[in-house]
């Protein structure tokens, strides 16, 4: 099984469920606080791969829900700069295994990437309906 470095927002119930799923599947989870991590621009950028910039963002971040920020108008450099200034903007969780990095917790992707053998992912998804599509918390 894998050792997963799991960058989360402490207190986020979805992040808690995601860690429980990984642990139940036999993976070791090392949780880190996404909000207090000393991010370097290249390091943060490495989690997003080829995803469109708007998918890098936590859609429930106050700056987005209140209409102060529209991620679809930003380029990669602008997005990273904003995220470094306000980590609540970062979509969660960020996960790292060795040199591989990923953002979000899509159950099918995580299962294909790490393996969630023996986990009832249907039940987990029913417990948290947005788990498969959005890793963010409602109350950021």
- Positions annotated as catalytic residues are 12
Q: What is the dihedral of CA 78, 81, 87, 88, to 10 degrees?
A: -30
Q: Please report where in the chains the tokens 């986020």 appear, as a residue.
A: 12
CA dist., res. 75 & res. 18, Å (int): 29
């Amino acid at each position: 099984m894998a050792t997963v470095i799991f960058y989360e927002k402490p207190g986020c119930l979805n992040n808690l469920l995601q860690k429980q799923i990984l642990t139940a599947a036999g993976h070791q989870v090392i949780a880190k606080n996404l909000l207090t991590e000393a991010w370097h621009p290249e390091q943060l950028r490495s989690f997003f791969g080829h995803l469109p910039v708007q998918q890098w963002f936590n859609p429930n971040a106050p700056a987005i829900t209140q209409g102060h920020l529209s991620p679809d108008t930003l380029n990669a450099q602008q997005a990273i700069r904003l995220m470094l200034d306000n980590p609540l903007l970062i979509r969660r969780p960020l996960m790292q295994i060795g040199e591989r990095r990923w953002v979000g917790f899509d159950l099918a992707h995580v299962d294909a990437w790490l393996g969630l053998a023996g986990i009832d992912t249907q039940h987990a998804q029913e417990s948290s309906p947005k788990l498969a599509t959005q890793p963010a918390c409602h109350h950021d």
